[in-house]
A and B are shown apart, each in its own frame.
Chain A
């Protein structure tokens, strides 16, 4: 594919167990500590540690709709931070052609506990409930938007796929502004479901480490405000960053296991690099998927060694857990913040290398980096591979 035009990111918002806003999250990452614990937001007999947002984060006085599900509250909170970060008045979202494209684990399904608890003769108000369970609709309704809406449910790559798709909406001219990202709450069914697949670690996860036993789940949201070149010109300040490239490819192998030869990931990386016009030497670092599972980390380490020898990489899931539909977006936010700071965090959880992996190891200490461009990748259940090339400039430098 030929290089595509870069798409400007005017503002970013991020909330997860590491912090309620992006700056707080980054401060937490650079400290190198983490404290996952069994869930408190729902009752369960299981004790696998998770990364929950423990604070009462939702400022209900700032939003019109309060009777919404937790995923929507996370999404709205991150959206408000992104709007403020962009320096926008929220009224602009009502007057321009504004779309929303959000990734999440479940979209409009009746993923609402009150359905289950209503028993055999519930009274149903289905349409309203669908709106409650859908973060995209929540955002569109809250900010009175009039553009296209899409909810991406591509499992773990939903957040990065949403960003990639939203960038196309800007490039093709159908939107002036797109609110995009990912959101997912810690949910009992998902927690129990992952346990049944035996891929949870009963201790803090160890991405890429020889003693890794699986993942820890997390929750959160990250939202990006993408803008067209016309809006960019109207803005009082420069865009924060750019989406330079996006690649997506499928393993076509198994619905839970990663493809051992990594071919799907390689294809996605190649497409992202082609569409961004970036070369290997432009990539300052890689924000890996690194879940801590045996399969994912092994395959990913081999692909990174083959395609990006010598390029520093790390996983942030040791700090946030695997936030599923939000992961791609949260990690894209971290990637941009790291470029801005000129430093990247240690890949917490990694202490001892796995002899089955090639001789390239994730960062064990925080490190300084040079360059304005980096790569963030997500590998999903079902074999979706989604790769973003992000930069603080319109071109790699």
Chain B
């Protein structure tokens, strides 16, 4: 079954909206912010790609937004941008499902709550913060704001969250449970993640597992949201193309059967132990690219790769890859200049924790 991509909403370090992502792919550069974290050893500074949610106010009233934190705002804005792009903001949408994936969850809230409940002498817990930290809070808010009563699913499986979310979206459409699915993901920056980056890439830190595996300039923590409106095959062909296949499995136990005639977008981003293993599963002539230099390291980064793949379908171009020594091996065929997409499909592949893999392929 072909599942059409009708609209895309993205935000992250590159900006807000599919237009900003498009501009950023062309320039090949995203700007990071310098985040200062206080530690008992003094202040440390780490770069991060942050998302700005100011545009959300054009979709949702201030009053409706008052209790909503940054994590949920990113998800909401991603959803509204996708619906706007699909021209479905005000239309009679028919029955729509909503799926929101997250790798880390509502991290800032979770840590604040851990701090207030576990480490404080007199444990306390704000009800607003607690209810926002429940993992399906973002999906709840979007269903309320859209008045959408179809099925609603939240998933959180670290770096396989996107693949599993798309799998469920595909099956809902296949079974006829819904006419469209608003599916996507969100992850946020938090100081724990910033500290994590410092631990991994701080030169001279003997405990850093990843030291030397990647040039630390490229391993920047990212946050943001990526959302897609998907519909069944009766829709007119979308310029973004269609989702052809979703596969998940374990490459360490059973290898991977990858599709032919394909350009591969690799989910290497400096934060997975498998970043340097793509080379073991791709054929020598497979053309590959990585775009994490535009959106950063986050478990749901594959969603941004899918958005970029959709743009590739729209413009018939595979955009030049970012530079990174992780996968820049002699055996990998990196796309160093923009090139024609031709008849190729695009496979967004992520190798993840525990040997798991997930890929989402797009065609046009």
Residue of A nearest to B40 (CB): A120
Assess the A197–B248 pair: CB atoms within 8 A: no
Distance in angstroms from A3 CB to nearest chain B CB is 11
Q: Is there contact, CB below 8 Å, between A197 and B134?
A: no
Tell me, rounded to whole Å, the shortest Cβ–Cβ distance linking A292 to chain B. Answer: 19
B127 pairs with A165, CB closer than 8 A: no
Q: Are A116 and B123 in contact (CB under 8 A)?
A: no
B136 touches A381 (CB 8 A): yes
A196 touches B127 (CB 8 A): yes
- The interface on chain B, measured as residues whose beta carbon lies within 8 A of the other chain's beta carbons, has a size of 77
Cβ-defined contact, B157 with A197, below 8 A: no
B213 CB to closest chain A CB (Å) equals 13
> Is B164 in the interface zone, CB < 8 Å from A?
yes
Query: How near does chain B come to A98, taking the closest CB pair, in angstroms?
Result: 10
Q: Is B150 among interface residues, defined by CB-CB distance under 8 A?
A: yes
CB < 8 Å neighbour of B356 from A45, A140, A155: A140
Residue contact B199 to A123, C-beta cutoff 8 Å: yes
Assess whether B356 is in contact with A108, with CB atoms less than 8 Å apart: no
Contact of A130 among B111, B135, B147, B158 (CB under 8 A): B158
Partner of A147, one of B102, B146, B249: B249
Within 8 A of B (CB), among A210-250: 248-250
The winner among B106, B156, B175 for most chain A CB atoms within 10 A is: B156
On chain A, the residues within 8 Å of B133 by CB distance are: 193
How many Å lie between the Cα of A199 and that of B157 in the bound state? 29
Partner of B151 from the list A111, A113, A248 (CB cut-off 8 Å) is A248
- Partner pick for A254 among B98, B118, B144, CB 8 A cutoff: B144
Residue of A nearest to B170 (CB): A172
Q: Residues of B contacting A168 with CB < 8 Å?
A: 168, 171, 175
Closest to B130 in A: A193
> What residue of chain B has the Cβ atom nearest to residue A259's Cβ?
B149
A365 within 8 A of B: no
Chain B residues numbered 142-166 whose CB sits less than 8 Å from any CB in chain A: 143-144, 146-158, 160-161, 163-164
Q: Give chain B residues whose Cβ lies under 8 Å from the Cβ of A108.
A: 103-105, 156-158, 161, 299
Give the Cβ gap from A159 to chain B, nearest Cβ, in Å: 13
With A116-B119, A153-B156, A249-B151 as contacts: A121 and B136 at CB distance below 8 Å: no
Residues on the B chain within 8 Å of A120, using CB: 38-40
Are B175 and A106 in contact, with the CB atoms below 8 A?
Answer: no
Which residues on A sit within 8 Å (CB–CB) of B33?
Answer: none
Which of A105, A117, A193, A248 has the most chain B CB within a 10 Å cutoff? A193
Closest to B274 in A: A127
Contact assessment for A251 and B149 in the assembled complex, using a CB-CB cutoff below 8 Å: yes
Task: Report B-chain residues with C-beta under 8 Å of the C-beta of A250.
Answer: 98, 140, 143, 148-152
Residues of A within 8 A of B144 (CB): 252-255, 383
Q: Nearest-CB distance from B1 to chain A (Å)?
A: 10
Is B354 engaged at the interface, CB distance under 8 Å to the other chain?
yes
Q: Report yes or no: A134 in contact with B196, Cβ–Cβ below 8 A.
A: no
The size of the chain A interface, using a CB distance under 8 A, is 78
A122 to B144 Cα, complex, angstroms? 39
Given known contacts A146-B249, A150-B168, A252 and B143 CB-to-CB distance under 8 angstroms: yes
Q: Identify the closest chain A residue to B118 (Cβ).
A: A116
Known A-B contacts A106-B156, A189-B117; A146 and B254 likewise in contact (beta carbons under 8 Å): yes
A52 within 8 A of B: no
B19, chain A: closest CB distance, angstroms: 30
Contact A382-B134, Cβ < 8 Å, known A127-B272, A193-B113: yes
Known: A44-B123, A108-B104, A250-B148. A134 touches B158 (CB 8 A): yes
| Residue of B with least CB distance to A141 | B354
The A-contacting residues of B in range 240-269, CB under 8 angstroms, are 248-250, 253-254
How far does the Cβ of A144 sit from chain B's closest Cβ, in whole Å? 6
Task: Report B72 CB to chain A, min CB distance, Å.
Answer: 10
> When chains A and B are docked, how far (Å) is the Cα of A381 from the Cα of B104?
20
Judge whether B154 and A154 touch: CB under 8 Å. yes
B24-59 interface bits toward A, Cβ cutoff 8 Å, 1 = contact, 0 = none: 000000000000001111000000000000000000
Interface positions of B from 254 to 310, Cβ below 8 Å from A: 254, 272-273, 299
Cross-chain contact B174 with A172 (CB below 8 angstroms): yes
Query: A141 to chain B: which residues have CB within 8 Å?
Result: 354
| Nearest CB on A from B75, distance (A) | 13
- Taking CB atoms, residues of chain B closer than 8 Å to A172 are 171, 174
A381 touches B160 (CB 8 A): no
- Residue ID in chain A nearest B299 by CB atoms: A108
Q: Are B107 and A109 closer than 8 Å at their CB atoms?
A: yes
Q: With A134-B157, A152-B155 in contact, do A146 and B253 touch (Cβ < 8 Å)?
A: yes
| Contact between B126 and A196, CB atoms less than 8 A apart | yes
Which one of A7-15, A263-271, A279-287 is at the interface? Answer: A263-271
Residues of A within 8 A of B149 (CB): 249-252, 263-264, 267
User: Which residues on A sit within 8 Å (CB–CB) of B146?
Assistant: 252
A148 at the interface (CB under 8 A from B): yes
Cα(A110)–Cα(B188), bound, Å: 13
A252 adjacent to B147 (CB under 8 Å): yes
A-B contact pairs, 11 of them (CB 8 A): A1-B176, A106-B105, A130-B353, A140-B356, A151-B156, A169-B171, A189-B130, A248-B152, A248-B153, A248-B177, A381-B140
Not counting A105-B135, A127-B353, a sample of 5 additional A-B residue pairs whose C-beta atoms are within 8 angstroms of each other reads: A107-B158, A151-B164, A250-B149, A252-B146, A255-B144
Residues of B within 8 A of A (CB): 38-41, 98, 102-107, 110-111, 113-115, 117-119, 123-127, 130-131, 133-137, 139-141, 143-144, 146-158, 160-161, 163-164, 167-168, 171, 174-177, 192, 195-196, 199, 207, 209, 248-250, 253-254, 272-273, 299, 353-354, 356
Q: Across chains A and B, which 5 residue pairs bring their CB atoms closest together, nearest first?
A: A107-B156, A109-B105, A382-B140, A193-B130, A153-B135
Interfacial residues, chain A to chain B (CB-CB below 8 A): 1-2, 4, 44-45, 94, 99, 105-111, 113, 115-117, 119-127, 130-131, 134, 136-137, 140-141, 144-155, 161, 165, 168-169, 171-172, 174, 188-189, 192-193, 195-197, 248-256, 263-264, 267, 271, 380-384
